[in-house]
Structure 1
Amino acid sequence: MTLRLSSKVARCAAVVGIWLAGAGSATSQSTAPTAPIPTAPRAPAPATTTPRTTPPVRAARPATPAAAPVVTPPAAPALPGVTPLPAPELEAFVDGFVRRSMNQDHIAGVTVSVVQNGQVVLKKGYGVASLSGGRRVDPDRTLFRIGSISKTFTWIALQNEIDAGRIRPDTPINVYLPEKLQVRDQGKKNPVRVRDLYNHTPGFEDRALGQLFEREERRIRPLDVYLRQERPNRVREPGVLPAYSNYGVALVGAALANTGAKPFEDLIAERVIVPARLTRTTFREPRAWRDDLPAPMAPALAADMAEGYRWTPLGLQAQPVEFIGQIAPAGSASSTAADMARYMTLLLNGGTIDGRTVFSARAAQAFRTPSYRPAAGAAGLNSGFQDIALPGNRRGFGHGGATLWFHSNMVIVPDLGLGVFVSVNTDTGQSLPATLPSAIVERFYAPARAVPAFTPLTAEAAALYAGDYLTDRRAYGGLEGFVNRLIGVAKVRASAQGGLAVTTDGQTRLWIPTDREDVFKAADGTDMLVFQRQDGTPARFFAPSGISAYERVGPLFKQGVLSGATLLAALASIATLAGVFVRSRRDTRQTTSQARASLLQTTQAVLWLTAIACVGVFALGSGDVASVVFGWPSGWLLTASACAFIATILTLVTLAMTPVVWRGGRRVDSWNDLRKLCFTVTALIFIGFAIVLAAWGFLEFWNT
């Protein structure tokens, strides 16, 4: 799925650690530090079907590549004014780009295909599909998990139903769903339409932990069961803001299955995969047979699945299969570079391949035309496909995809007749798929990048944009909501160059103003950042990917407030416990009410420190993505939340007792004024901490 969950969960450890330390905000950097060269065994030579007429520049000399037959459709005429890619130069460029990324990011295996004008220009595998089995990546045989690129198959099937008149875009999705799966009103005025789902504007919150991926086969649920049990909250009216929704795509898959009267996996194979002759593409997964689930992946395909890897200080570690079948329409597909080459040719040819029509010319145009833009100049969505800005003022369409261990990208550039697909099988490899397609377009078709000229923002103008913004693609309550508030923040600051510095996902990018108010361009690329105002002040901005918005947060939700409240509560708790042991006999004289209040506050101190310590243990283990995703909700986090909840209740009781504590008794058998003051200040610190935690969702241990 296009989730980037692995990097987000990994960042959680750092952010929570900073929270515990009492820091005001996360430290950011412009680029990720260069990683050391991996100590894992040298990857096997790439498998390629592109003849080498000139030796490419490469990081290391590979063994002779394994050749495979190339089967492609007849070549289409070259587009006027477009010089076809020179295959030898393209291969040399991709070789260097891929090997550099493999070394820097510790990637086990990569598969790539490039098509143009109906021909495969490059089809190549790098590294290993399986370290234990010694299998190399073969672009014709090795299947990679393609994550949310799966959604594009679902969108094709949907457009076919629209063409047939069986589904209408502006009709509520409930019309096409069985009653048990229908979207509930939840107090919202407008129904969720089909259009809202392919535009990713249904108004759902986004939850993933403990449900999006499964590690154990026994936990895989049928699609309809998943949709019933994991209904997200509706947090806004549909059509208002973009917020990427895997659940929404799964609803479309269920609607297709319902109108087609067959399981989604059968339907997508019958209507897209088989007509396109994608012989090594499937939405099925390698598992044992179960009567309540669709048939598993064919053994012949399962034998050629690439393993997923996690990079650790000890090297690459193979990971178990991550099952996504419970939400198959959103991300369970696996494919080869060769099949993806055919698929990209199909998209470039307007829905036809080998004389077969898989989808209509109208649908083909829909995939190239924005069906939704949140604001003028912002990236949008093309009936489910992502609208992509490319070097040279070109635009493409396609989709990215990510599971825990695989990262993929597919970019189609119609005015170049070009398609690029790349996938990696390692958790640290997300940068390569994200950057290679644009790099190819820039290298062969874009003019040399010039130093951008712009009018710098004044300090006053920049200050209007500065602040913390929170993604709307998140859980809106409970412990997952708490974690999302920690890791979903974008920090916008004025840059010294007169633009903006925006830090998201631990990376900082510089943005320069354009001649349009509230519109900024990436200093290092083609992405656009568009702000939207409310009452004259920038209130949100839209992500360059077009799949989410970031909304300005108030003071209570700034990480510095959470950090400061945590630090004060920890110090107050330590001081409270220390007082129990260091007070003299005279200081311990107290009334019965004061004794009870003291016991309550001491208990609170123990509970607050226990909660903070448990969060610390969770943070230490959250670097292991699998343990967080598959083990959610963490016992440590549940314990912390429950302790904080009980401490909050006791704090409220303590506050109610404060007037009694101050009245006390006679001077000789009551607290002195200093102790009464310390008691009151401590109670206020504890209640302030509780208010912050309640607002962040941390006290809802029952809501995971």
Structure 2
Amino acid sequence: MLISMKNRLIATLAILAVLGLATGLIFPGKHAKAETGKAVSPGSRMEAPAKLEDTAGLTAFVDGMMEEYMNRLQIPGAVISVVKDSRIILAKGYGSSNLEQALPVDPATSMFRIASTTKLFTWTAVMQLVEQGRIDLDTDINTYLKSVKIPATYPEPVTMRHLMTHTAGFEEGGVGYQITTDPAELPGSISETLNKHMLARIRPPGVMSSYSNYGATLAGMIVEDVSGIPYNDYIQKYIFDPLDMKYSTVVEPLPKSFIPYQVVGYNSETGSFIPGTPTFEGGFRPAGSATVSAVDMAHFMIAHLQNGKYGEQQLLKPATAERMHSTAFQFDKRLPGVALGFAEKRVNGVTLISHGGSDPMFNTEFYLAPAKQLGIFLSYNGGQGSEAASNLLQAFFNRYYPAPEVEQPEFAASAESVQKYAGSYQFTRHNSSDIDKFFNFFAQLNVSIAGNKLSLGSGSEQQLYREISPNLFQLEGGTDQIGFRTDESGKVTHMLLDMAPDMPLERTPLLDQSKFWLIVVGVLAVLFIAALLGPILFNRRFKAMTLAEKRAVRLSAGTAGWALLSFITLFMVVMSMDTMQKFTSISPLLSLSLGMPILLAGLTLALLVSTIQVWRNKYWTAIRRVHYTLVTLSAVVLMIFFYHWNLLGWQFG
């Protein structure tokens, strides 16, 4: 069955997701057209909205959705909690928390790893210190940091507001060190981790959003430095204890008392579930180390929805909670933005603030609709949990908060006027300094023109967007929108999918475009193969050459062969690495293969010298000397490729 365009986007973002992408992205699945306000049975749109007060109906509806998508998307276990008007109206587990021991999922005690949804605890801790006057959102964070200092790359300092809106301007990183599978490496110092893997500032703060685990970890470090309490202890004392979250922790690995309640994460292989290797965040724990139960998260949702209050406990003051939930940064005023720690989302006309989290085995989604006093928490221990969550959310809103009928706005656009939006775009969340850059070689989005509409994807996966106002496009027959930003001359510089408000895209420079390099490398390969086969195909001519000419030919053929081998080896090694391999350590095979471009550099230098001799001594005919020179230039271009993508040497973060 063909995968939808949105699921291709999920695949494109898989690496980012495992790194802790917690944007609350909603990509409707291949069996549900969420963008049209429709969903498959049993969650299809109703003539009149159902009532949440009918808990039996709600339970039956969720049961049906869970059964359908857990079977279809190969999910072994899941949990949900729904809160409305300060009370839990549904908390239920599905499937198994441990297949080997045949343990069911218990919403009260089964502890799911929630990855980047952990950041909500970090951001809440920050806001507690803000309301105490101990942190100012707009003060240079170096004022608070004791053992880490952010370099003054730009005149403008990084502030806590920048960290909470992901506008600090850090590049992305994580290959080889983001997570670990070895408990012996824990616990790790947050400050030591931040200093060891400090990321470059690649854009001025406050200009553009770019989701950052590094930024969230810095915020956790500030919580430690300002409060004088270790991060783990602070979260336990000031968030988990007041909210009666008895089955929640940010400690890694899980304390022994919690082991009986630990949910096992699974990988799906050949139709069966295989227990995955547990991962740990180590020094990056403020960005993703939490393990929680669904009922505990319901308490957390209630506190946020009730102006910071849970029972007799006041987690945040009402004004602080409102401030945290309000829009703090927007790419475009017409599209969802970013609150202080949350990403905004619109479903059927209702504004949600959300946060998701993914690791190699777990997927979590957390949604709050403050205007409806509604909260939904979902977590899955394997399979395509993000897709299941997005389908359930859309179906839920179709059933209980159906979209009002609205007319599609009209806007006259010509094929010529929309041509400027076509091209390749890359996510602002990328790396420039380390080998991480090459791991995003294919993480680009191409926009083409179909008549007077924008086209994403092709064939049965094609999605068409038509312009509804300047620089704003809407999915044909749906509600999804894409916004663009232009410079003073009218040139398009950025785009934003409304489903990912903290993940804008920017025009991909020519030298970063995978399509450009694949064409270039294809041409180089032809020249290299010709140089490699020359002595074989023209053996008689080769035997008649002088010794110096033979050496020149052998050097050219050897360089061409090594160039092809270097590119193919590195490409295959990088692309064959699974998620765990990419982000836990640098494999010996990768380190060894990175030595190949170094040797190629030496061969290329020798070939350059040889080319000069070939022309000086007038070896062969002019045409053959030109071909020899083209092979040399091909080696130089391939070296530029390796250099540009940080593959020349061992550039690890």
TM-score normalised according to structure 2 size: 0.88
Would the alpha carbon gap of residues 277 and 177 (structure 1) be closer, same or farther in structure 2, given more than 3 Å must change? Answer: same
Q: Does 1:477 align with 2:410?
A: no
Superposed, 1:218-297 pairs within 5 Å as 218-220=184-186, 221-286=188-253, 297=254
Equivalent residues in 2 for 1:372-391, closer than 5 Å: 372-391=329-348
Q: Does 1:87 align with 2:44?
A: no
Q: Paired residue for 1:626? A: 580
Q: Structure 2 matches for 1:28-427, cutoff 5 A?
A: 84-178=52-146, 180-185=147-152, 187-220=153-186, 221-286=188-253, 297-391=254-348, 393-427=349-383
Root-mean-square deviation over aligned CA pairs: 2.9
- C-alpha change, 1:673 and 1:615, in structure 2 (3 Å) is same
Matches within 5 A, 1:457-476: 457-476=413-432
CA–CA distance in structure 2, aligned partners of residues 600 and 148 of structure 1: 52
1:536-574 CA distance string (max 9 Å, x none): 121111243211221112333322221122222223222
Code of the residue aligned with 1:662 in structure 2: it is: W
> In the alignment, does 2:506 pair up with 1:540?
no
* Match in the other structure for 1:587: 542
Greater shift in the superposed pair: 82-91 or 446-455: 446-455
Amino acid at match of 1:482: F
Report the Cα offset of residue 659 of structure 1: 3.6
Superposed, 1:543-622 pairs within 5 Å as 543-544=497-498, 545-590=500-545, 594-618=549-573, 621-622=576-577
Contact 1:573 1:609 (8 Å CA) reproduced:
yes
Identify if the C-alpha distance between structure 1 residues 566 and 298 changes in structure 2 by more than 3 Å, giving closer, same or farther. Answer: same
CA contact (8 A) 2:127 2:324 kept: no
Bigger mean CA deviation after superposition, 444-453 or 355-364 = 444-453
Q: 1 CA distance for matches of 2:233 and 2:457?
A: 43
Distance 2:423 2:42 in 1: 44
Cα 1:606–1:639 shift into 2, 3 Å: farther
**Offset, 1:249:** 0.8
CA contact (8 A) 1:144 1:334 kept: yes
Shift of 1:33: 6.7
Quick one: which amino acid aligns to residue 565 of structure 2? Answer: T
8 Å CA contact 2:493, 2:507 repeated in 1: yes
For 2:72 and 2:537, how far apart are their aligned partners in 1?
A: 55
Change (3 A) 1:460 1:553: same
Q: 2:628 corresponds to which residue?
A: 679
Residue 494 of structure 1: which of 449, 457, 468 is its match?
449
The residue that corresponds to 1:290 in the other structure is none
Q: Which stretch of the first structure deviates more once superposed, 549-558 or 304-313?
A: 549-558
1:618 aligns to what SS in structure 2?
helix
Structure 1: how far apart are the matches of 2:463 and 2:299? Answer: 35
Alpha-carbon spacing, 1:503–1:200, altered in 2? closer, same or farther (3 Å): farther
The answer as to whether partners of 1:58 and 1:95 remain within 8 angstroms in 2 is no
- Report the CA distance between 1:450 and its aligned residue: 6.8
Number of the residue aligned with 1:518: 471
The alignment partner of 2:325 has SS state of coil
2:648 alignment counterpart: 699
Q: In the TM superposition, what whole-angstrom CA distance separates every residue of 1:147-193 from its partner, at most 9, and x where no partner exists?
A: 22111111111111111111111111111111x312122x3222211
What does residue 483 of structure 2 align with? 530
Q: How far 1:115 moved relative to its partner?
A: 1.0
Amino acid at match of 1:96: G
Preserved contact between residue 593 and residue 661 of structure 1 (Cα < 8 Å): no
In the TM superposition, residue 507 of structure 1 has moved relative to its aligned partner by 7.5
Output the TM-score relative to the length of structure 1. 0.82
- Provide the C-alpha distance between the structure 2 equivalents of 1:613 and 1:637, rounded to a whole number of angstroms: 13
Relative to structure 1, the CA distance from residue 469 to residue 417 in structure 2 (aligned partners, 3 Å threshold; closer, same or farther) is same
1:128 and 1:358, CA in 2 relative to 1: closer, same or farther beyond 3 A?
same
CA distance in 2, matches of 1:111, 1:196: 33
SS at match of 2:435: helix
Question: Does the CA-based 8 Å contact 1:593-1:660 persist in structure 2?
Answer: no
Asked if the contact 2:52/2:58 (under 8 Å) is kept, the reply is no
Q: Match of 1:334, as an amino acid?
A: T
Report the counterpart of residue 52 of structure 1 in structure 2. Answer: none
Paired letter, 1:660: Q
Q: Secondary structure at the match of 1:181?
A: coil
Q: CA deviation at 1:688?
A: 2.6
Q: Give the SS at the match of 2:65.
A: helix
Distance 2:652 2:560 in 1: 24
- Aligned CA distance change for structure 1 residues 340 and 586 (closer, same or farther; 3 Å): closer
What whole-Å deviation, never above 9, does each CA across 1:111-150 have from its counterpart, x for those lacking one?
Answer: 0111111222211111111111111111111111112211
The 8 Å contact of residues 80 and 377 in structure 2, kept in 1 or not, is answered as yes
State the Cα distance separating 1:199 from its structure 2 match: 1.2
What's the secondary structure of 1:487's corresponding residue? coil
Q: Provide the C-alpha distance between the structure 2 equivalents of 1:475 and 1:335, rounded to a whole number of angstroms.
A: 31
Matched-pair contact (CA < 8 Å) for 2:361–2:383: yes
Over 3 Å counting, the alpha-carbon distance change for 1:97 and 1:681 in structure 2 is same
Cα deviation for residue 324 of structure 1 reads 1.5
Change (3 A) 1:537 1:5: closer
Q: Which residue of 2 aligns with 1:292?
A: none
Aligned residues of 1:390 and 1:526 also touching (Cα < 8 A): no
Which consecutive residues of structure 2, in runs of 5 or more, have no partner in the other structure?
Answer: 1-7, 17-26, 32-40, 44-48
AA in 2 matched with 1:528 = Q
CA 1:212–1:361 in 2, change beyond 3 Å: closer, same or farther? same
CA contact (8 A) 2:594 2:649 kept: yes
Pick closer, same or farther for the CA change 1:405–1:449 going to 2, 3 Å: farther
Q: Report how far residue 96 of structure 1 moved.
A: 2.0
2:293 corresponds to which letter in structure 1? T
For residue 478 of structure 1, give the secondary structure of its aligned residue in structure 2: coil
Tell me the residue number matched to 2:36.
Answer: none
Partner of residue 42, structure 1: none
Distance across 2 between alignment mates of 1:695 and 1:551: 18
550-559 or 271-280, larger mean C-alpha shift = 550-559
1:436 paired with 2:389, answer no
Tell me if structure 2 keeps the 8 A contact 1:615–1:636.
no
